[in-house]
Amino acid sequence: MTRALTRLADGDREAFDPVYRAAWPAVHGLASRMLAGDPEAEDIAQQALLAVFDRASEYDPAIGPALPWILGIAGWTVRSHRKRCARRRETDVPTGLVHPDDLEEAAIRRDLEAAVRAVLGDLSDLDRATLHAAVTDRPSGAAFRKRLQRALERLRTTFRRRHGAL
Amino acid sequence: MERSDLERRALRAYERGRLRRALPWGLWAVGFTVAAAAVGAPFALPLGTLLAAWLVGFQWRGGELARGVVPGLAAGSIAFLAPVAWACQSGACTSACTTTCTAMAVASGGVGGLLLWNRVGSTSAVSALLVAATAGAMGCLALGTSGLVGVAAVVVAGAPAVLRRPAVA
């Protein structure tokens, strides 16, 4: 392999076939392992092979054997693809949910809403109507304020009973 | 044997990579052309283009032909610079070339040819001679058309190298 790549680097086109036959399985294997499960693995393996041949004339046996040199170029191509994919995923996510902290916050909010719905389900119809009116209609008057205070007290008690103190 | 699509693309990538590496050698031709034009040598542009084609072509092809490029450039530089330097120093940059002009061109061509004879093998000598003769012609023409005798001297002095077995591994 090293001898064939040295000849190819020197311009001997007859060395192309032996280098191709030795390089392709190695590059394909490396890309398959590094991109396991990636539907683009085959394309990237081919890109990596083309990158190897694009730079084949730069090979100098003094820098070491051919296989590590080939796998170094192929590995760099595969890593570049992975970085591109990671950047693409980041830009594809809607604004506000990009950062992992934001994703965690959204999950917490969902859990909290589910907990509140469950607690509201334990309240009476009158308490639920009072709380709903306080949010939507905002009625005034002493009678409504007293009814609202009692509804909120029962809401807190039920929440503590189900989930403990906040 | 029929090549697969990937194999053909790999071969094209290889040739493209070689060409990309060969192209910077054309800058030598640009340097020679600018210098030749600066001293008023005729045919500087066509000869410069020919020199660029030799340099890039041989480097792209590789092997023995590529190995002749550096000795060819070294020999051609002597054949190019000596007449140009002499002509500029003496102020004789005209087509009315004297016997001294011709002697200078022949001498520098001979030195370039001897350099090739010592440094390269047979196949390399072909490319080296072509490069040296073209580069030398650009300088020798500054002394008039009789300066081309200097180019002939490069070819004659370098010719024995073509007949020798390759000396460079």
Asked if A49 lies within 8 A of B18 by C-beta distance, the reply is no
Range of the domain at B111: 5-163
From the list A8, A16, A50, the residue facing B9 with the nearest CB is: A50
- For chain B, how many structural domains are there in total? 1
- The whole-angstrom separation of Cα A163 and Cα A160 is 5
To the nearest whole angstrom, how far is the Cα of B36 from the nearest Cα of chain A? 32
ipTM over 0.85: no
Asked if B66 lies within 8 A of A53 by C-beta distance, the reply is no
pLDDT at residue B13 above 90? yes
Pick the more confident residue, B151 or A75. A75
- The whole-angstrom separation of Cα A163 and Cα A119 is 9
Interface of A to B at Cβ within 8 Å reads 8, 10-12, 16, 20, 24, 46, 49-51, 53-58
Counting one residue from chain A and one from chain B, the pairs whose CB atoms sit within 8 A come to: 45
- The whole-angstrom separation of Cα B151 and Cα B157 is 10
Domain assignment present for B168: no
From the list B14, B21, B66, the residue facing A53 with the nearest CB is: B14
- The whole-angstrom separation of Cα A97 and Cα A90 is 10
Domain boundaries, chain A: 2-92, 100-163
B-chain CB neighbours of A53 within 8 Å are 10-11, 13-14, 17
The CATH number of the structural domain formed by A2-92 is: 1.10.1740.10
To the nearest whole angstrom, how far is the Cα of A19 from the nearest Cα of chain B? 11
Asked if A55 lies within 8 A of B17 by C-beta distance, the reply is yes
pLDDT tens by residue, A26-66? 888 888 888 887 788 888 889 899 999 999 988 888 888 88
Question: Mean of the pLDDT values across residues A144-151?
Answer: 87
Asked if A58 lies within 8 A of B21 by C-beta distance, the reply is yes
H/E segment holding residue B55 = helix B44-61
To the nearest whole angstrom, how far is the Cα of B62 from the nearest Cα of chain A? 4
pLDDT at residue A83 above 70? yes
Asked if B16 lies within 8 A of A54 by C-beta distance, the reply is yes
pLDDT at residue B135 above 50? yes
pLDDT at residue A123 above 70? yes
Residue B17 in contact with partner chain A when CB distance is under 8 A: yes
pLDDT tens by residue, B94-107? 555 556 656 666 66
Tokens describing residue B163: 């007949």
**Could you tell me the sign of the dihedral formed by the alpha carbons of B106, B110, B112, B113, in that order?**
positive
**pLDDT given for residue B168 in this prediction:** 44
Pick the more confident residue, A137 or B169. A137
From the list A10, A16, A20, the residue facing B63 with the nearest CB is: A10
- Least confident window among A41-45, A122-126, B24-28, B135-139: B135-139
pLDDT at residue B163 above 60? no
**pLDDT given for residue B25 in this prediction:** 93
Pick the more confident residue, A3 or B136. A3
Could you tell me the pLDDT band of residue B166, with boundaries at 50, 70 and 90? Answer: very low
Is the model's pTM score more than 0.80? no
Could you tell me the pLDDT band of residue A18, with boundaries at 50, 70 and 90? Answer: very high
Pick the more confident residue, B166 or A134. A134
Could you tell me the pLDDT band of residue B165, with boundaries at 50, 70 and 90? Answer: very low
From the list B6, B63, B65, the residue facing A46 with the nearest CB is: B6
**pLDDT given for residue A20 in this prediction:** 92
Question: Mean of the pLDDT values across residues A13-24?
Answer: 91
Question: Mean of the pLDDT values across residues B38-62?
Answer: 87
